[in-house]
Amino acid sequence: MIVIHILCSEKSEAETIIELLIEEQLIWNATISKKTFYEEKDKERIGTNDKFLITAKTRSLLFQSVNHLLRDIYKDHMPLLYCIPIVYMDPQQSDMLLKQTLKI
């Protein structure tokens, strides 16, 4: 099992992605957090802007399906997508995740 992180520019985009991934049973549940994102603008200056971070739990084998779905929708501006492994999870919650996500 993994936690997926998706970094979006707009809150509405994050909400749309969550709804789609839940409908497709690719994630169990999700949260949105507003974050300040720092990036190098040029060699002498660091810029900031607000981003919206989606965190969602899913099966590790569904990561590629999430990636392909988002790639198809966001061909020109794919949100940053990566995952973090879940080392341990409460057994009842783990069972719920398995029941709520797509069977492979």
The two structure tokens encoding residue 82:
């990566």
Q: Are 53 and 35 in contact (CB under 8 A)?
A: yes
| Whether the predicted pLDDT of 44 surpasses 80 | no
CA distances, 47 to each of 37, 40, 44, 77 (Å): 8, 6, 10, 19
Q: What is the pTM of this model?
A: 0.87
Q: Which pLDDT score is estimated for 103?
A: 84
> How confident is the model over 4-35, as pLDDT tens digits?
999 999 999 999 999 999 999 999 999 999 99
Mean local confidence (pLDDT), 53-62 = 96
The two structure tokens encoding residue 51:
């981003």
Q: Which pLDDT score is estimated for 72?
A: 96
